[in-house]
Structure 1
């Protein structure tokens, strides 16, 4: 099938005029929201509910029949009164298995809400890259949305967008261009990934130099760079459970390596 791929380098590029109703959208926040969602899914979380702001998250938790875990961050740091922050290391089976969690973050959950009108909505990270690719190969139109950092383009999110394009639209015969129908932002992301992939520098080192990576290091979360730089270690997808709601579930996929 001839798949078309568009990329929004920040959520602000998704204007109200952007037609997402027939699109499958993939949200990317490598550092760290979508990496946390994949990790929590692998650890057996029941449902993940995303909220744009702290008040909405707390209100949802207060109204739930069984109190969910309140999770998230603001500017990399845990939120006062919340159960968990935004480090994948916190989302162990002992802590989250069979629990619902409510997540609100500075960038990632806002990107999810920006793409709410999409027909299908997934959250992707390097951790579950292979499973995500397997889940969307038959989609006629993909809209990749990079969360960015405080409204700015973030290198780490663009890298993952490029990796997705590289796998779904491999280069043409001379290797100079990706195949298929892609927009200019997708071409930029693909070029960034191809340049990084051709470098001998490990992915973790690339993340260190990104805007999000520098912020994490400054905040004392340097170890999360390695945790988020593992590629294809989680065989499952994070996908919205039903249209119109920001409730996500994790589903395991048999992925051929």
Structure 2
């Protein structure tokens, strides 16, 4: 495989000197922003605009002629005055179909904005894993960005980064490493995925032990762990519409 894959275990690793202008970047916030975006897309939402902070999101919603749904969380909890929080359970077709939304979250949307200078930008979750892999397979340089949790590395995001790498470049032998051009963080992520042994242990259990998972359980959102642990149940990608703008749409495969 000639594809070059780099992983940022937190967005802070994307320094201003990091050249992303020729890269395709994939943003990961398993618990829960990118899982929400995939769920909303599957449910028929229109466009999804992400904002780094609450004030910018509220201001954008107020200035839009047809008011979008105002969505998001801070520290796992819904934001006062917003229409929806950050649980995939809220993003049903009845609630979001044919509506645009504005989303701001503690970690995920900040990671998106850290990678805005990328040539191409997607948001990935376990829910749309296979569709995302298919969409980026031909990209010469792939930059995977883990949102992390409050500036720290979070295991659930690292796991998904490893799963993406594993599907892009399956090793020739069961016990061998991928053959592609991987940086050290990419190899760490791939090893974490392989060692998680999700074939014998439910993925939700691994998510529950992560930093993000423990925070969700403490906040009363344990059920979201299973919602975010479904693998490739959504056959579509979440991709930025235009360079320089944090506006995304759901693109169904086929």
Q: TM-score, normalised by structure 2?
A: 0.98
Determine the C-alpha separation between the residues in 1 that align with 2:174 and 2:233.
31
**Number of residues of Structure 1 aligned to a counterpart in Structure 2:** 254
What's 2:29 paired with?
29
CA distance in 2 between counterparts of 1:61 and 1:10 reads 29
For 1:6, what is the secondary structure of its paired residue? strand
Whole-Å Cα distance in 2 between the matches of residues 5 and 85 of structure 1?
A: 33
Residue aligning to 1:85:
85
Matches within 5 A, 1:29-48: 29-48=29-48
Alpha-carbon deviations, 1:160-211, whole Å to 9, x = none?
A: 0000001112124463211110000000000000001366211000000000
How do 1:145-184 residues align onto structure 2 when only pairs under 5 Å count?
145-173=145-173, 175-184=175-184
Structure 1 residue 145 displacement after superposition: 0.1
Does the C-alpha gap of structure 1 residues 174 and 125 become closer, same or farther in structure 2, counting only changes over 3 Å? Answer: closer
Aligned residue in 2 for 1:235? 235
Q: Which residue of 1 aligns with 2:3?
A: 3
TM-score of the aligned structures, taking structure 1 as reference length: 0.97
- Quick one: distance in 1 between partners of 2:184 and 2:108? 23
Show CA shifts across 1:19-76 (max 9, x none): 0000000000000000000000000000000000000000000100000000000000
Gapped runs of 5+ residues in structure 2?
none
Distance 1:43 1:199 in 2: 29
The whole-number CA distance in structure 1 between the counterparts of 2:172 and 2:152 is 31
Distance 2:63 2:111 in 1: 24
CA RMSD of the aligned region, Å?
1.0
Matched residue, 1:97? 97
Aligned position for 1:17:
17
Query: Structure 1: where are the runs of 5+ without partners?
Result: none
Which range moved further: 189-198 or 80-89? 189-198
- Match of 1:143, SS state, is strand
Please name the residue that 1:113 is paired with: 113
Secondary structure of the structure 2 residue equivalent to 1:234: coil
Taking the aligned partners of 1:198 and 1:82, their CA distance within structure 2 comes to 36
Partner in structure 1 of residue 129 of structure 2: 129
Tell me the distance in 2 between the aligned counterparts of 1:192 and 1:176. 14
Q: Which residue of 2 aligns with 1:139?
A: 139
* Distance in 2, Cα, partners of 1:155 & 1:218: 17
